[in-house]
Structure 1
Amino acid sequence: MTDTLHFAAGDGARVAYRLDGPEDRPVLMLSNSIATTFHMWDGQVAELAKSFRVLRYDFRGHGGSDAPAGAYSLDRLGRDVLELLDFLGIDRVHFLGLSLGGFVGQWLGIHAPERIERLILSNTSPHLGPASYFDGQIRSVLAARDLSATADMFMHNWFPASMLAGRNETVEQFHAAILTMSPQGLAGCFASVRDADLRRPISLITAPTLVIGGVDDKVTLASHSQAIAAAIPGAELVLLPGVHLLNVERPAEFMDAVMGFLGVEQER
Structure 2
Amino acid sequence: MIGHYTLTGPEDAPVLVLGNALGTTTELWRDFSLPFRLLRFDHRGHGGSAPVEGPCTIEDLACDVVDLLDHLELRQVYYCGVSLGGMIGMWLAAHTDRISRLALMCTTAWYPDKSVWDERIEVLRSYGMEPLADTIVSRWFTPAFSPAVVAHFRAELLKVDVPSYIACAEAIRDMDLRPDLAKIDVPTVVIAAAQDHATPPEFARHIADELPASELYIVGDAAHLAIVEAPRTISVILDGHFGND
TM-score where L is the length of structure 1:
0.87
Q: Distance in 1 between matches of 2:161 and 2:123?
A: 13
Pair 1:22-2:22 in alignment = no
Pair 1:255-2:235 in alignment = yes
1:90–1:253 distance in 2 versus 1, CA, 3 Å: same
Pair 1:117-2:96 in alignment = no
Q: Distance in 1 between matches of 2:99 and 2:143?
A: 36
Bigger shift: 218-227 or 58-67? 58-67
> What's the counterpart of residue 176 of structure 2?
197
Matches within 5 A, 1:2-13: 13=1
Secondary structure of the corresponding residue to residue 195 of structure 2: coil
> What's the counterpart of residue 34 of structure 1?
22
Q: Distance in 1 between matches of 2:5 and 2:212?
A: 32
Preserved CA contact (<8 Å) 1:38 1:56: yes
Pair 1:139-2:122 in alignment = yes
Measure how far apart 1:196 and its partner are.
0.7
Pair 1:80-2:64 in alignment = yes
Q: Distance in 1 between matches of 2:2 and 2:174?
A: 23
Preserved CA contact (<8 Å) 2:140 2:224: yes
List gaps (5 residues or longer) in structure 2.
Answer: none
> What amino acid does structure 1 have at the position aligned with 2:59?
D
The runs of at least 4 consecutive aligned structure 1 residues that moved more than 4 Å come to none
1:209-257 Cα distance to aligned partner (Å, 9 max, x none): 0000011210111000011000001210001112111111111111111
Instruction: Name the % identity.
Output: 35
Preserved CA contact (<8 Å) 1:61 1:189: no
> What's the counterpart of residue 91 of structure 2?
107
Secondary structure of the corresponding residue to residue 120 of structure 1: strand
Higher relative contact order (CA 8 A, sep 6+): 2
> What amino acid does structure 1 have at the position aligned with 2:132?
T
Q: Distance in 1 between matches of 2:183 and 2:89?
A: 13
Preserved CA contact (<8 Å) 1:157 1:218: yes
> What amino acid does structure 2 have at the position aligned with 1:115?
R
TM-score where L is the length of structure 2:
0.95
Secondary structure of the corresponding residue to residue 149 of structure 1: helix
List gaps (5 residues or longer) in structure 1.
Answer: 1-12
